[in-house]
Amino acid sequence: MKKIYFKKTYIASLVWILSGFVLVSALFYLYLLNETVKHVVARQEAERTLASLDEVVANREVSYLTKRELITLEYAHAQGFEEASDALFITRPFFGRR
Least confident of 32-36, 40-44, 51-55, 70-74: 70-74
| R_g (Cα) of the chain, nearest Å | 37
The pLDDT assigned to 58 comes to: 96
The pLDDT assigned to 92 comes to: 85
State pTM to two decimals. Answer: 0.53
* 64 φ/ψ angles, rounded to the nearest 5 degrees: -65, -45
- Amino acid present at 23: L
Query: What integer is the mean pLDDT of 43-69?
Result: 96
pLDDT score of 35 more than 80: yes
